[in-house]
Amino acid sequence: MFKVKGVFKHYDWGGKTFLPALLNHSNEEKKPYAEYWLGSNLHEGIEKMPYLFKVQDVEKMLSIQVHPSKEAAKIKFEEENKKGIPVDAPNRNFKDANHKPELLAPLTDFYLLHGFKPVKELQQILNNTPELNFLTHIFGDGDYKKLYSYVMNMPQEEVNNKLAPLIQRIVPEYNAGKYSKENENFWAARAALTFNKDNNIDRGIFSIYLFNIVKMVHGQALFQPAGLPHAYLEGRTMEIMADSDNVLRGGLTPKHIDVNELLQHVIFEATIPNIISGQKNDTPEEIYITPADDFQLSRIKLKPGEGISIAAIISDIYFIYEGRLIARADEDQIDLKSGDALLVKPGTVVHFGTDENATIYRATAPLK
């Protein structure tokens, strides 16, 4: 076992204080610190891991995204290779042949868009938002594919004409503090102020009304499978995912959007957000159970004087979120504090002990 350092990502949607404070990292330049990456192929001398493990600080809204299934990714990756599209080209959809299921476990209150609203809820929001009444007959009794395809294929001039009255109404009310974060208008107004460029309105604003707005709290987790449209709106979270960079975007972004490709991968059905809690046995470890074979995330909360021994399944990574601990394995002993990360090789049994309250997040893979 040994300590490892991750990699910071300075995407413009990140905050400037949370990650530098957590990692004891100076930020005199006031740069955005969006993510801290651990795992995958970031650590020398370790076999490539099937997961990427992150700490995220979402200060500004992220793009609406859909990730392909593993089967689709393999086919599409080869197709783009045969076309000769460079892997780093801005119009490249498939950067690798893998899927990208994800699990987030918030550290603070966290807001996101997650799948389509149930039929009655979606009908209600379309009926109750005057500027979106024109979509009610398109959605009908629940035609998600027809509705989403319609707004995503709408000519930009029509997007502007349809959404301009909505934006003109809700932005002043947003600025006056009228809306809560559970209200679609809050995020639609914020998106308009963030993403509208060159007098064009971002079509992703439609999706804010079509998708579930989910609020999560510390201790919960949420799995996002292939085909489920989603977007992170605000908050700080741990995230673990399969090792892939395949992202199909659906708005709230200046980046490349391939609507035809996107629509081939979206699951057109209602989603009831399945917020989960960690499952405990007889130890302080709470495991977030998901269908994923690539990764498993757990949270370990220790009280003063408490300890836990764990055998690494693959190359496991332990991220210390709070507290100070001592890790012991065989003859090795390592002092750990908040912001540290420990990599433990397969089969190694590590014991954590502490004299204070401590929280650890463990990235591994499920036993097979």
pLDDT score, position 359? 98
- Contact call for residues 105 and 98 (beta carbons, < 8 A): no
Nearest to 298 by CA among 274, 280, 323, 313: 280
> Which is higher by pLDDT, 199 or 166?
166
For 200, the 3-state DSSP assignment is strand
pLDDT score, position 254? 87
- 7-276: CATH number: 2.60.120.10
Q: How confident is the model at residue 40 (pLDDT cuts 50, 70, 90)?
A: low
Instruction: Return the biggest CA–CA distance within the chain.
Output: 70
Phi, psi for residue 109 in degrees, rounded to 5:
-55, 135
Phi, psi for residue 143 in degrees, rounded to 5:
-90, 85
pLDDT score, position 368? 64
Other beta carbons within 10 angstroms of residue 323's beta carbon come to 20
> Which is higher by pLDDT, 244 or 238?
238
pTM: 0.95
Q: How far apart are CA 240 and CA 187, in angstroms?
A: 25
Q: How confident is the model at residue 91 (pLDDT cuts 50, 70, 90)?
A: confident
pLDDT score, position 3? 94
The class that CATH gives domain 278-364 is mainly beta
Q: How far apart are CA 339 and CA 358, in angstroms?
A: 12
pLDDT score, position 42? 62
> Which is higher by pLDDT, 243 or 299?
299
Other beta carbons within 10 angstroms of residue 225's beta carbon come to 17
pLDDT score, position 88? 87
Is the sign of the CA dihedral 356, 357, 361, 365 positive or negative? positive
In order, the DSSP letters of 88-132 are T-TT---SSS----EEEEESS-EEEEEEEPPHHHHHHHHHHSGGG
pLDDT score, position 45? 57
pLDDT score, position 170? 98
Read off the pLDDT of residues 113-153 as tens digits, 9 standing for 90 and up: 999 999 999 999 999 999 999 999 999 999 999 999 999 99
Residue 243 has pLDDT above 80, yes or no: yes
H helices, E strands: number in the chain? 9, 22
Report which secondary-structure segment, H or E, holds 231: strand 230-242
pLDDT score, position 197? 83
In the chain, what are the domain boundaries?
A: 7-276, 278-364
**What percentage of residues in the chain have a pLDDT greater than 90?**
88
